Amino acid sequence: MSSAVGARRKTGPVARTVAQAKVNLFLRVLAREASGYHQLETLFCRLDLGDAVVVRTGVRGRSLDCSGDAMPSQGIGPVERNLAWRAAEAYAGATGWPNDWAIEIEKRIPVGGGLGGGSADAGAVLRCLNALAPEPLPEAAMLLLAAPLGSDVPFLVTESALALAWGRGERLLKLPALPVRDVTLVAFPFGVVTRDAYTWLDDAGRGTRPDAVAFSTDDLSAWSGVARMAHNDFEPVVTAHIPSIATTLGVLRSAITAGGDPNAIALLAGSGATVFLLGADLPRGEVRVDGVTSRTVHARTADRVVAVEVSD
């Protein structure tokens, strides 16, 4: 399935990269601000699973094409709401360049699953435009552009595979990548709207944690330390509203018990609906629990960020 907006001629310089998905190895939602936004404390980790992103400048008009196995049946929706499109508009608005662009995305990341697919696309578009720009922006300026697009985008515009983030995701501490591990993702045939997850959190009185949890970055230098801290504040409220997610997490945690790996982790990805398993394995194919059939996607944690390649 493909969705396209705008006519163009495919000429001019081209930048391409892979918009890598992310998981939150821990995610704590702190106090809600007067503005309605919540402060976060999270550990971001990139995966080797990603959307293929191509950006062209020197074209006539502005366009966005999306295709791929992970495209939702209803398409990408209004182009002005698409994060990749908004990222290009933000870059052009801040720098005065480019006037026109052509963006092509092959969707491979499950949509609406908490894996940051749209945010990864936005980060990739910003990185591609910056690689093509006559006067590239420094990273600090890129983070300022990324922050209004969403709490995942600042991390996904950096060259870091692992980072601790605070605030609305714009405060980042880059960390050395952890050793690569296999990851099994269980992708449901539905997603969770992030706004709904926050509402459930607030309604349950859980979105009021006043302070971050004290820890040392030494705790994040090995999987053993990360496993001790693994947690997701969204998990109790999302599973309460969607019992099939709770049942699936139970299946994953049973696999951990059977495997005997003390550093294994099973968590909800972001605000859901995808859940992920590190340190144990599930069969490839489908998982059926509570009458819901989900598919397993096998990936690995990333120890690097895929570079942007530029060509004429």
Q: What average pLDDT score do residues 133-162 get?
A: 96
Q: Which residue has the higher pLDDT, 77 or 166?
A: 166
Q: Which residue has the higher pLDDT, 310 or 202?
A: 310
Per-residue pLDDT band at 81 (split at 50, 70, 90): confident
Average pLDDT, rounded, for the chain: 89
**Given the structure tokens 């599973």, which residue do they identify?**
239
Q: What is the pLDDT of residue 272?
A: 85
Residues 235 and 268 sit within 8 Å (Cβ to Cβ): yes
Distance CA 185, CA 294 (A): 10
State residue 8 phi and psi, 5-degree precision.
Answer: -160, 165
> Any catalytic annotation for residue 152?
yes
3-state SS, residue 182: strand
Catalytic residue among 51, 100, 121, 152: 152
Q: What is the pLDDT of residue 8?
A: 46
Least confident window among 187-201, 252-266, 282-296: 282-296
Q: What is the pLDDT of residue 234?
A: 94
Cβ burial of 97 (10 Å; 0-12, 13-18, 19+) is middle
CATH code that applies to domain 3-176: 3.30.230.10
Chain mean position to CA 157: 11
Per-residue pLDDT band at 209 (split at 50, 70, 90): low
Rounded to two decimals, what is the model's pTM?
0.90
Helices (H), the chain: 83-95, 117-132, 139-146, 153-156, 194-203, 223-229, 235-241, 243-259
Per-residue pLDDT band at 33 (split at 50, 70, 90): low
30: which 2 tokens? 């702190």
| Residue 154 neighbours by CB under 8 Å, 6+ apart | 143, 146, 147, 165, 169, 170, 172
CATH superfamily of 182-300: GHMP kinase, C-terminal domain (3.30.70.890)
Catalytic residue among 10, 22, 65, 174: 22
Distance CA 194, CA 205 (A): 17
Q: Which residue has the higher pLDDT, 253 or 10?
A: 253
Residue 17 confidence (pLDDT) above 50: yes
What are the tens digits of pLDDT across the range 106-124? 999 988 889 999 999 999 9
Q: What average pLDDT score do residues 259-278 get?
A: 92
Q: What average pLDDT score do residues 46-65 get?
A: 96
State residue 176 phi and psi, 5-degree precision.
Answer: -60, 140
Cβ burial of 292 (10 Å; 0-12, 13-18, 19+) is middle
Residue 36 confidence (pLDDT) above 80: no
The length of the chain is 312
Least confident window among 75-79, 133-137, 190-194, 280-284: 280-284
Residue 4 confidence (pLDDT) above 80: no
Cis bond upstream, residue 176 (ω within 30): no
Domain residue ranges in the chain: 3-176, 182-300
> Any catalytic annotation for residue 174?
no
Q: What average pLDDT score do residues 142-170 get?
A: 93
Q: What is the pLDDT of residue 39?
A: 80
